[in-house]
Amino acid sequence: MLEISIDETQLPTATIDLSGSLDSSTAADLEQFFTSSVSEEVKVLVMRMQDLNFISSEGLRVLAKIRKTMRSHGGATYFVNLSRQVQKVFEIVRAAPLSEIFTSTAELDAYLAEMQRKAVDD
């Protein structure tokens, strides 16, 4: 079972919380949720995964598709608070660049603040 919730109160950033298992029986649910629930106003998608206890290759495929869709609209996807087992899978298959994986929301916020500071300085 996969539980999905979204917070779009700080647009253009949205946060999706995932809990449970992201596998062949639930991957389509996440894909449909993303398609129907994430507005085009979202440019930064944060996926919190501290309560995701399992991910399969089908789950990884859906996450890759979400990343690709966000990039095609000029946006970005970041993964935060990965559970230990999901982080291990990400490391093994290199599911996302290290610049998109953060140990906490605070670490992501610091990274985004630094990127904005650099953009202003350039």
Segment 87-98, tens digit of pLDDT: 998 888 887 777
Which listed CATH number (1.10.10.10, 3.40.50.1820, 3.40.50.720, 3.30.750.24) goes with 2-121?
A: 3.30.750.24
Instruction: Please give the pLDDT value at position 122.
Output: 67
Residues of the chain with pLDDT under 50: none
Prior bond of 97 cis (ω within 30°):
no
**pLDDT at position 32, please?**
96
- pTM to 2 decimal places: 0.85
Helix, strand, coil: what percent of the chain each, to 5?
45, 30, 20
CA angle 74, 107, 82 (to 5 degrees): 85
